[in-house]
Amino acid sequence: MTELSKIRNFSIVAHIDHGKSTLADRLIQQTGTVKERDMQEQLLDSMDIERERGITIKANTVRIEYPANDGDTYVLNLIDTPGHVDFAYEVSRSMQAVEGSLLVVDASQGVEAQTLANVYQAIDADHEIVPVLNKVDLPAADCDRVAEQIEDVIGIDATDALQISAKTGIGIPDVLEAIVERLPAPEGDRDAPLKAMLVDSYYDAYLGVVVIIRVIDGVIKKGDRIKMLGTGGKYPVDRLGVFRPKMEDIGELGPGEIGFLTASIKQVRDTRVGDTITHEKKGTEDALDGFKPAQPVVFCGLFPVDSAQFEDLRDSIEKLALNDASFSFEMETSAALGFGFRCGFLGLLHLEVIRDRIEREYDIDLITTAPSVIYHVFMKDGSMIELHNPADMPDPSTIDHMEEPRIKATILVPDEYLGDVLKLCQDRRGIQEDLTYAGTRAMAVYDLPLNEVVFDFYDRLKSVTKGYASFDYQMTGYREDNLVKMSVLVNDEPVDALSTMVHRDRAEMRGRAMCEKLKDLIPRHMFKIPIQAAIGGKVIARETLSALRKDVTAKCYGGDATRKKKLLEKQKAGKKKMRQFGKVEIPQQAFINALKMDD
């Protein structure tokens, strides 16, 4: 049992690639938590996909024991959080479970958009924040400039910011001392009724649901019967433990401690993140505030390429949803693609990660439809429906008006690229709200339609700024606009997977781009294929894919020209018939590439 004054709970927050996971590795290594031979890069990132992309997706916890310079041994509970905007939900959850944060800033790159977003979450959670300048061993590092930036942009005193290199290990002992000296110890009452917060949960094939908890008051022991206040579920505790990154059993968890429990819980959806756990008898009645549930913002359809794999897909999606509270799904059918699921995600990276995991972990080939957002469609009879899929759009004559979701985007960019960024936002129907400077970098705040951002805004932003811009957004609400549904017809058949919602002023440009793109992507067939974009009954763009031809006149040499004519006429008639009955095969890659709209 650890004294409260000897516990420190903290998380590491930073922008993508500023070195959170590397710093976590060094802290674990420096304190000898893991034997040298078991050490590896990104130790806390357990998913293959996290290692491959070099990003953190799930927040991970680890308990470190550190003998400080004052002779006492401290227990440090570290939560390594993601840096990417799509996983901000993981960050906000982790913040509630700890009292302090290490703010890691790359000494060569400086403060980025996601640094701001994550540090504001820490400030909202009343954290004590210790600024850490990482990568000081790089030739481009400029600690004074970055410290000044932290003070100007975030407003945190950075005079005694720690200067470290997580990769080489410079300054790591100072970080451990600073955690002990500068971060507060948790508060809690050992004798009060048990009150613990459910921070996260995931499904393990052997143990059932593993629940990560932070004890606020009281003590939880192995064998106790617990109750979840939110869902009302009651369970016996089978196993208690802490992560030293590997699971290690422990007899009891007291106030201020972070650990895990298993309690024969069958489904992760029985464990609501942010729920309060207490004893079944003599428990507390007042629940903790919990977290606001994650709202999916991007929707898309996932269909198996081979329709026989539909049941496997259902299985894999249900298993993924077990571990990911922010991923939602429902069944849908499509004329072109058969049975599949309409899934909701927090953003495009989240979508890509889930898609990659299904393809890799469950070996299912997927077709992904165009990402879309939720539109509010107001009907003439006064009712309002939420439109998730453009294919379900009601008859335009019954619609009064439509509203689309808007976001507030914060973009930080070196000023030589500012013009390109402003033009990009203007092209995407953005409204400029603010433009300020911090040193040589501009911070532009724009009100943008989410629909324009989900496609490839991030990629375009990175390409016009050579990768120097950083981008963060939050939802602000809905606004009315002139929106229409654009359908794509291939050989006079509508392809519902390619129908999208567009602004009327940009429909023709989008339609033309889509047709030209499909013309290059669809392989040629034995007959001519018209590719059209239409709004309602009106075609706004068209391309024709020419037919493959066999040279039927090759066997004619010399002789009468009518022989050749006869053969060509016969071929023409065959092509005409073929076009009536022929089915156009659109390959999977064509769908994916067609949906990456470039300007």
User: Residues annotated as binding site for GTP?
Assistant: 17-22, 134-137
Of 281, 336, 268, 344, the residue nearest 307 (C-alpha) = 336
Count Cβ neighbours within 10 Å for each residue of 543-574 and write b for 16 or more, e otherwise: bebebeeeeeeeeeeeeeeeeeeebeeebeee
Helix or strand (DSSP H, E) at 377: strand 375-379
Helix H, strand E, coil C: the string for 545-588 is ECCCCCCCCCCCCCCCHHHHHHHHHHHHHHHHHHHHHCCCCCCH
- Which of 351-360's residues contact partners 24+ apart within 8 Å by CB, and which partners? 351/298, 351/300, 353/49, 353/57, 354/320, 354/324, 354/327, 355/302, 356/49, 357/47, 357/49, 357/320, 358/302, 358/313, 358/316, 358/317, 358/320, 360/48, 360/49
H-state helical runs in 152-208 = 172-182
What is the 8-class DSSP label of residue 154? I
Q: In whole angstroms, how far apart are CA 165 and each of 159, 220, 590?
A: 18, 39, 44
Between CA 33 and CA 64 the distance in angstroms is 6
Between CA 63 and CA 215 the distance in angstroms is 14
- For residue 341, the SS3 value is strand
C-beta atoms surrounding 505 within 10 Å = 11
Tokens of 301: 């359809």
Which residues touch 505 (CB under 8 Å, ≥6 apart)? 482
Between CA 334 and CA 308 the distance in angstroms is 15
- Which of 288-291's residues contact partners 24+ apart within 8 Å by CB, and which partners? 288/195, 288/197, 288/216, 289/96, 290/197, 290/230, 291/92, 291/93, 291/96
Tokens of 103: 């703010």
Whether residue 28 contacts residue 172, with contact meaning beta carbons closer than 8 Å, is answered with: no
H-state helical runs in 439-481 = 450-454, 457-464
In terms of Cβ atoms closer than 10 Å to its own Cβ (0-12, 13-18, 19+), residue 124 is exposed
| Annotated binding-site ranges | 17-22, 134-137
What is the 8-class DSSP label of residue 126? T
- For residue 89, the SS3 value is helix
Between CA 114 and CA 18 the distance in angstroms is 10
C-beta atoms surrounding 318 within 10 Å = 13
208: left (phi over 0), alpha (psi -120 to 50) or beta: left
